[in-house]
Amino acid sequence: MTLFRWVENDEAREIIYFANPSLPLLSRKNLAESILEDTAKDIKLSLESIAQSEKLILQLYWMAGKM
C-alpha cells in the first residue's frame, strides 16, 4: 500500500471535490515529486548550514592554538 493511494481513489476524490470543488487534486506521482523536491532542498540547506558552523568551529580552534 502506498502513502498517496487515496489521491487516485474515486470515492476520496468525490468527497474532496464535494468539500471544495475549486481544489486542484494532483496525481500521486506529482504529489510525491513535489514533496521529494522540497525535502531534498531542505536537507541540502541543513547540510550547508552544518558545514558552515563546523568550518567556523574549526577556524576558532585553529586560531586558539596559534595564541
Label each residue of 1-67 as H, E or C. CCCCHHHHCHHHHHHHHHHCCCCCCCCHHHHHHHHHHHHHHHHHHHHHHHHHHHHHHHHHHHHHHHC
Chain segment 15-65, per-residue pLDDT in tens? 988 999 898 888 888 888 888 889 999 999 998 888 888 887 887 777 787
Residue-range domain boundaries for the chain: 26-67
Selected residue with higher pLDDT from 48 and 6: 48
pLDDT in the model for residue 41: 92
pLDDT in the model for residue 45: 92
Local confidence band at 1 (pLDDT 50, 70, 90 cut-offs): very low
pTM of the entire predicted model: 0.48
